[in-house]
Amino acid sequence: MLDGKILLTGASGTIGKKLVTALLRSGRPVRVLALPGDAGASPLRDLGCEIVCGDITDRAGLAGICEDVAVVCHMAAIILTREAGDYERVNVGGTLNLLSEARRCGCEHFVYVSSASVTYPRTTPYSRSKRLCEAMVMAQESMPWTVLRPTLVYDEAGAAELYRFWEHLLRFPVAVLVGDGKARKRPVWSEDLGSGIAAALGNQAAFGKIYNLSGAQVVTMEEMAAVLLHRCGVKKPIVKIPASLSLLAAHLVELLPLGSFLSSSALLGILQDADLSPAAAMRDLGYNPLGFEQGLERAGTLPPSRRC
């Protein structure tokens, strides 16, 4: 295990806070790169980590960010946007900038947090950007790398994708499910994801490898819908809308200022399998994820704004 400071990007969200807390408790010094004005940075500073303001899209502004850093963990990314160019500018360009600075400063390990969406046969602008980033990380030869692929993340505080789906199920008199409901997923409890990332940082056993940080339980979208409705004590029929019709509607909706849940990219994420086995991470990293229903029990009650 490499010693030295760890640089985190994209750490102001729920996963980042849990990761920072775990790293600091283990005695590992942490530096966080946060966007100027990011309100999520203040709680991280209170935890005792170093905060540096900057933007991964500003290559000149990153100068020195990796000084005295042994391990870079790059999590920052645009996930949903109406501006297609943002994926190229932030995800691809930002990763390229950070890779260059990490190499210049002699960092010993670059950990890239990617996405299960890179395995989708039907790509989206987001998944294509993550594929490009993975390729850039793996192509460079001067610095050991590790790629991590989380699946659908959920926790007690929210986790946007899963809870948007949950709210969608509750919105109408019937639970509307896109497609045949057979797409296979492995939702991952946020604390498991954080522990998996932490275990990879500076771990020489992880050099040059790709790991799936997924949950222990495979569930179909229909099974997931049934579990979420039951958890709310709601009984309603599940009505399936053909995928082709849903995608056509989504393309029309994208012309209007409506919610991102109905975007074609979001629907493609629902319709495709993300059944990525965590076996390699369990073997090499000591990763031990919960099943979906176990994680929901751990989550307890929903946040006030999301209660049934």
What pLDDT score does 213 carry?
A: 98
User: What six digits make up the tokens of 294?
Assistant: 């176990």
For 43-47, 101-105, 199-203, 289-293, which range has the lowest pLDDT when averaged over its residues?
43-47
What pLDDT score does 304 carry?
A: 42
Instruction: Kindly state the average pLDDT of the residues 111-122.
Output: 96
CB-based contact 15:153 (threshold 8 Å): yes
**What are the tens digits of pLDDT across the range 3-25?**
889 999 999 887 888 899 989 99
Q: Computed from CA positions of residues 55, 61, 67, 70, in that sequence, does the dihedral angle turn out positive or negative? A: positive
Average pLDDT, the chain: 89
Q: How far apart are CA 91 and CA 173, in angstroms?
A: 39
Instruction: Kindly state the average pLDDT of the residues 196-210.
Output: 97
pLDDT bucket at 298, cuts 50 / 70 / 90:
confident
Judged against a pLDDT cut of 90, whether residue 305 lies above it is answered with: no
For 75-79, 185-189, 238-242, 296-300, which range has the lowest pLDDT when averaged over its residues?
296-300
Distance separating the N- and C-terminal Cα atoms of the chain: 45
What pLDDT score does 268 carry?
A: 84
Instruction: Kindly state the average pLDDT of the residues 202-209.
Output: 97
What pLDDT score does 9 carry?
A: 97
How open is the CA angle 285-291-295, to the nearest 5 degrees? 100
Judged against a pLDDT cut of 90, whether residue 244 lies above it is answered with: no
Q: How far apart are CA 290 and CA 14, in angstroms?
A: 18
Q: What is the DSSP letter of 154?
A: E
Alpha helices in 72-186 (DSSP H): 85-86, 93-104, 125-139, 160-171
**What are the tens digits of pLDDT across the range 262-282?**
577 778 888 899 999 999 999
Would you state the torsion angle of the CA atoms of residues 206, 211, 215, 216, taken in this order, to the nearest 10 degrees?
-80
Q: How far apart are CA 280 and CA 284, in angstroms?
A: 6
Please give the radius of gyration of the chain, using alpha carbons only, rounded to the nearest integer. 19
What pLDDT score does 247 carry?
A: 65
Judged against a pLDDT cut of 90, whether residue 133 lies above it is answered with: yes
The helix/strand/coil state of 249 is: helix
Q: Does domain 5-153+187-214+276-290 have CATH number 3.40.50.150?
A: no
Helix/strand number for the chain, H first, E second = 12, 13
More confident residue, 164 or 132: 132
Helix, strand, coil percent content, the chain, rounded in steps of 5: 45, 15, 40
What pLDDT score does 266 carry?
A: 78
More confident residue, 241 or 288: 288
What pLDDT score does 155 carry?
A: 82
Judged against a pLDDT cut of 60, whether residue 260 lies above it is answered with: no
**Whole-structure pTM value:** 0.92
What pLDDT score does 272 carry?
A: 93
Task: Give 31-38 contacts, CB < 8 A, sequence gap 24+.
Answer: 31/5, 31/6, 31/7, 31/65, 31/69, 32/7, 32/8, 33/7, 33/8, 33/9, 33/65, 33/76, 38/12
Judged against a pLDDT cut of 70, whether residue 246 lies above it is answered with: no
